[in-house]
Amino acid sequence: MKQAGRCLAMIFGISLFTNAQATSFRAMSEKEKLQMADYHCAVLMTEVSTHLTGENVSSEGLAKIIRCFKGALEVSIKIRWPGGTYEKLHEDGHKESLRTLIPGAPELRVGEAYILSLRKSDKEPGSFEIQSWDIKPLEASAESYQIENRFRPKLSPEGLVTTTKQNLEDYATWVKETIGK
């Protein structure tokens, strides 16, 4: 009996040691994100909805392709991503807002345009999932879309922080140079 206890203690001790290992995290570079994505496209969201699965809320939407910088896609695609807010209607008539919040996850809105890194969905054939949360919003202008680089502010000559803007042609050139294609 003592020997069985020692064996269990050794196994338990080994599993404690294994679980105590440290994990490190390294943010991916822009190049790594582009290389991992199946597709990298500018899209315009035309529909967005949320769904409740058990206790988890997920979102999906239809997007019109404005332009693909990596890969080629149909004119309109279905995109899925985790998180969102679901309005649940109970039998007695009262509504309850259920929200799944994933830090950094997107909140894509109808009528807004974005640049997304996408991969084919394993869960639903014919649909796509967002590869990374580095989403670039697009601002429509009279001539074309402008990329609003909110996450990379630029210091102006006056010392003020401004957002940089870039058109889709310049961005396409940058993507080609970055991934070497």
- Distance CA(64)–CA(3), nearest Å, equals 67
Q: How far apart are CA 40 and CA 130, in angstroms?
A: 10
CATH number of 30-138: 2.40.50.120
pTM exceeds cut of 0.85: no
> Cα torsion for 4, 8, 13, 18, to the nearest 10°?
140
Please list the pLDDT of the chain residue by residue as tens digits (181 residues): 555 544 444 444 443 444 444 455 566 777 787 888 899 888 899 999 998 888 889 899 999 999 898 998 888 999 998 888 888 888 999 998 888 888 877 788 899 888 888 999 888 888 999 887 667 777 765 455 666 554 444 444 454 444 456 678 887 887 888 887 5
Of 46, 32, 38, nearest to 122 (Cα)? 38
- Spans of all domains in the chain: 30-138
